[in-house]
Amino acid sequence: MAGRYTRRWFASIPITGRFYIIFAILLISLAGIVFGALRAIHAQSEASADFARVAAAYRSLDRALGLQSSLTAQLQGADGAPGPGSKDLVSALRSQLEATWALPARLEVAAITDGLRQPAAQYLQGIDNYLRDSTAGNHASAWVFADLEPRRAAFENALREAMTRLHAIQQRVEIRVLAEADGASLVNTWMIVGALLVAALAALLLWAIARSIQKSIHDVGEVAQALAAGDMDNRCETHGSDEVSALARMINLLADTMQGMLTRLRSEAARSSFSNQLVEALEMADSEAEADRVIARAMGTISDVHPMELLLADSSRAHLERACAHPRTGSPNCPVESPYSCIAVRRGYPQIFPDAEALNACPKLLGRMGGALSAACVPVNFMGRALGVLHVVGAKGKPPNPEQVAQLTALGVHAGNRIGTLRAFERSQLQASTDSLTGLTNRRVGEEVLANLMAVETAFAVVMSDLDCFKRLNDTMGHDIGDRALKLFADTARGVVRDRDHVIRWGGEEFALLLPGINAERAAEVVDRLRAALAQAHLLSNTPIFTASFGIADSTMARDRETIIRLADEALYRSKQAGRDRCSVADPQLVAPLGQRRERDQGAVVDITQVARGT
């Protein structure tokens, strides 16, 4: 714990700041050492200077005492007269004293030397008087000499006392000089010890800084290795403000960014996986009902708590009908009636409503069972055209999350593409297999149905029909009337046959009936009912009256498609030859050569009342 606290304390200081601290410590230590040395030198210098000044004053007084002794010796000669050099000695003495007083000295020494001024002045004055009297009368008077003697004694005593005191001061200062020298030696010793201690402290601080930097870099390196290994939850400690902590913060920021990117990539991968599975499942749906079941299963995958439904437009695109709902939570029962009554369809992108009672919420969310709710609506489009909407509801304030909205959007896109494709394919198949005028199956599909009937080896009958005198009807009444006649015959034939039977427009005014499970005799009964129903249909419509001729063959007469068609066609030809408005059953012995064409005659007008009575 203490080590971590130390590292955090170090980490709070920038690396350059740590070196600045070491430099400051070294500088302060060096300054202390230098200051101590200078103080010691200064003290020793002051003591030496004091000693020199005291010694100079003592020597000066010693010289003055010597001059005084010489002067006294001359003044006390054998003849009692001053010697020839007395004046010079007095001048020298006076100069020596002046020099002594002029010397720089401490207060104590100056006080001692200043104490000589009065005795010296008195003595010198007495000397001057004595020398003057001696010069004037060749012999000084007794009273002048008597006055000089006490002054000399006082001066010498004062001089000797001053020298004694200076000697004492000199000894004391000498002791101080020696003490200061010993102190300087001790200071030198402490300077060496201090320098060693400062060096050791600097080395210790450098080691601590290097250790903290190494530890910080090691921790950052471990985190970087963990991040490189895929542990995106690992982070560096960033307690400090140094360069390594700044690097750690940058690594943490990079890790946060990478983690966000990985989260988005995982989310996109999950959505991509969902979309891929959804696309594959929808591709295996061959009908719209199968696609609706796949969509319902996808709703269950997206959420287990949100009711959902898919509303699709009908063929008129004016009404929305529920195609499927969530298999467990059920349908939210949206009351929207038409595609463009839905705001999501009008805007063309998903709409999220966190609160159905909000001012800008869809009004169709109000008044639902269960109270206030949230909702999401995703438009379902195909090639820019609205097919419907995915409607999802949840608790108030808890709409589908962004991930679920993305999945719902993918579901809406892929569901729209598949349902639109199936509807387009169904329309194209219907257009390819249906006659546009009558709505009957066309000849291509009829031939496929006939081939299937023959492949399963089941009993069936083939009826070929041709409208009588249709060319005359077209030429005289116009093509519009001819088209109405064709549609009337097609509608009548569809109303007569069973659901399993097939009415086919074979071409022009020719029709074919494929009747599974019956023979030619029963097929003739179907034809008779058709002829009667056609006569009744004329009574109820304003279409000009026309009749039809029929030829019948069944599967017992031939086992290949071309032959059975030729048999029925030949029977139809015989009905035409026999007077039209009748049916004939094929006779395999009377089959005409392949490729022989029937001739169209003009025919006569038919008595429709007799046909209606069945006569």
User: What's the token pair of residue 469?
Assistant: 């005198």
**What pLDDT is recorded for position 251?**
82
Q: Decide if pLDDT at 615 tops 60.
A: no
Mean pLDDT for 197-210 is 80
Q: Report how far residue 221's alpha carbon sits from residue 145's, in angstroms, rounded to the nearest whole number.
A: 108
Q: Report how far residue 590's alpha carbon sits from residue 592's, in angstroms, rounded to the nearest whole number.
A: 6
User: What's the token pair of residue 494?
Assistant: 């569809």
Q: Is the dihedral of CA 108, 110, 113, 115 positive or negative?
A: negative
Q: How far apart are the first and last CA of the chain?
A: 120
- DSSP letter string, 409-454: HHHHHHHHHHHHHHHHHHHHHHHHHB-TTT--EEHHHHHHHHHHHH
Q: Where are the domains of the chain?
A: 16-187, 284-425, 434-613
Question: Which residue in 131, 149, 123 sits closest to 64, CA to CA?
Answer: 123
Q: Is 569 helix (H, G, I), strand (E, B) or coil?
A: helix
Question: Which residue in 553, 307, 285 sits closest to 423, CA to CA?
Answer: 285
**What pLDDT is recorded for position 47?**
77
Between residues 431 and 113, the one the model is more confident about: 113
**pLDDT > 70 fraction of the chain, expressed in percent and rounded:** 88
Q: Report how far residue 478's alpha carbon sits from residue 480's, in angstroms, rounded to the nearest whole number.
A: 6
Grade residue 611 by pLDDT with cuts at 50, 70 and 90: very low
Question: Which residue in 296, 285, 317, 321 sits closest to 382, CA to CA?
Answer: 317
Q: Decide if pLDDT at 565 tops 90.
A: yes
**What pLDDT is recorded for position 32?**
78
Mean pLDDT for 88-111 is 84
Report phi then psi at 74, rounded to 5.
-70, -40
- DSSP letter string, 69-130: HHHHHHHT-SSSS--TTHHHHHHHHHHHHHHHHHS---HHHHHHHHTTHHHHHHHHHHHHHH
**What pLDDT is recorded for position 25?**
80
Q: Decide if pLDDT at 591 tops 60.
A: no
User: What's the token pair of residue 439?
Assistant: 């709505």
Question: Which residue in 433, 600, 412, 585 sits closest to 509, CA to CA?
Answer: 600
Mean pLDDT, the chain, whole residue set: 82
CATH superfamily of 434-613: Reverse transcriptase/Diguanylate cyclase domain (3.30.70.270)
Q: Decide if pLDDT at 316 tops 70.
A: no
With contact defined as beta carbons under 8 Å apart, do 543 and 485 qualify?
Answer: yes
Q: What is the pLDDT of residues 516-543, one digit of tens each?
A: 999 999 999 999 999 999 999 988 888 8
Q: Decide if pLDDT at 432 tops 80.
A: no
Mean pLDDT for 206-217 is 77
Q: Decide if pLDDT at 227 tops 50.
A: yes
With contact defined as beta carbons under 8 Å apart, do 505 and 443 qualify?
Answer: yes
Q: Decide if pLDDT at 493 tops 90.
A: yes
DSSP conformational letter for 342: S
With contact defined as beta carbons under 8 Å apart, do 571 and 596 qualify?
Answer: no
Grade residue 492 by pLDDT with cuts at 50, 70 and 90: very high
Least confident range from 137-146, 304-313, 356-365: namely: 137-146
Mean pLDDT for 499-507 is 91
Please give the angle made by the CA atoms of 536, 540 and 541, to the nearest 5 degrees. 115
Pick the CATH number of 16-187 from 2.40.170.20, 3.40.50.300, 1.20.120.1730, 3.65.10.10: 1.20.120.1730
With contact defined as beta carbons under 8 Å apart, do 159 and 118 qualify?
Answer: no
Question: Which residue in 156, 227, 204 sits closest to 29, CA to CA?
Answer: 204
Q: Decide if pLDDT at 497 tops 50.
A: yes
> What CATH number is given for 284-425 in this structure?
3.30.450.40
Q: Decide if pLDDT at 100 tops 60.
A: yes
Least confident range from 490-494, 573-577, 603-607: namely: 603-607
Q: What is the pLDDT of residues 283-307, one digit of tens each?
A: 898 888 899 999 999 999 898 989 9
User: What's the token pair of residue 508?
Assistant: 């022009």
Q: Decide if pLDDT at 499 tops 70.
A: yes
15, HSE (Cβ side, Cα atoms, 13 Å): 13
Question: Which residue in 307, 220, 209, 282 sits closest to 255, CA to CA?
Answer: 220
Grade residue 77 by pLDDT with cuts at 50, 70 and 90: low
**What pLDDT is recorded for position 82?**
61
Q: Decide if pLDDT at 599 tops 50.
A: no
Query: Which element (helix H / strand E) includes 214?
Result: helix 142-228
Question: Which residue in 158, 177, 170 sits closest to 56, CA to CA?
Answer: 170
Q: How far from chain centre, in Å, is Cα 253?
A: 10
Q: Decide if pLDDT at 596 tops 60.
A: no
- Inter-CA distances, 368 with 43, 323, 331, 608, Å: 103, 20, 12, 63
With contact defined as beta carbons under 8 Å apart, do 35 and 219 qualify?
Answer: no
With contact defined as beta carbons under 8 Å apart, do 418 and 282 qualify?
Answer: yes
Least confident range from 76-90, 143-157, 215-229, 365-379: namely: 76-90
**What pLDDT is recorded for position 311?**
92
Q: What is the pLDDT of residues 262-286, one digit of tens each?
A: 877 777 777 678 888 888 898 898 8
Mean pLDDT for 232-252 is 76
Mean pLDDT for 564-581 is 92
Which residue has tokens 């019948």?
552
Fold matches, 16-187 and 434-613 = no
Which residue has tokens 């594959």?
280
Which residue has tokens 């001057």?
128
Which residue has tokens 């010079």?
88
User: What's the token pair of residue 35?
Assistant: 């200051």
Helices (H), 389-545: 402-433, 443-455, 470-477, 479-496, 520-540
Mean pLDDT for 4-30 is 69
Q: Report how far residue 302's alpha carbon sits from residue 307's, in angstroms, rounded to the nearest whole number.
A: 11
Mean pLDDT for 588-609 is 47
